[in-house]
Amino acid sequence: MAITFDDFLKVDVRVGKIIAAEDYPEAKKPSYKLKIDFGSEIGIRQSSVQITRLYKKEELIGRRVLGVVNFPPKQIGKFMSEVLTLGVADKDGNVVLIKPDREVPLGARMF
């Protein structure tokens, strides 16, 4: 299905920095709960991510990621996820986080 450029622009993808990561043992699949700082315009949002196979919580702190910030919040178990943190699957189906390859400001929009 083709979309227009205007359709693409409706998806608000921003750069954020992970400021906290904790285990989420109540999730159906192994997950972390993240707090991500998207800068002064968006603020701090939380996200549930299934990335425990490739990432340790400690190494996530300070990492920049991309996230969709304009989806409605989604209830995941007892946790309300406010952002879709973006990643791609590796050859084994593990999620690899997407990040900018240069330093950019928090909240910078992808376009």
- Tell me, what's the pLDDT at 42? 98
pTM comes to: 0.94
What ranges do the domains of the chain cover? 13-97
CA distances from 79 to 33, 39, 64, 74 (A): 8, 22, 22, 8
Of 84, 22, 14, 80, the closest CA to residue 42 belongs to: 14
Tally Cβ neighbours within 10 Å of residue 65.
Answer: 23
Q: What is the pLDDT of residues 69-91, one digit of tens each?
A: 999 999 998 899 999 999 999 99
Q: How confident is the model at residue 43 (pLDDT cuts 50, 70, 90)?
A: very high
- Tell me, what's the pLDDT at 92? 97
Q: What is the pLDDT of residues 89-103, one digit of tens each?
A: 999 999 999 999 999
What is the token pair recorded at 111?
A: 């376009």
Return the CATH number of the domain spanning residue range 13-97.
2.40.50.140
Assess whether pLDDT exceeds 90 at residue 8.
yes
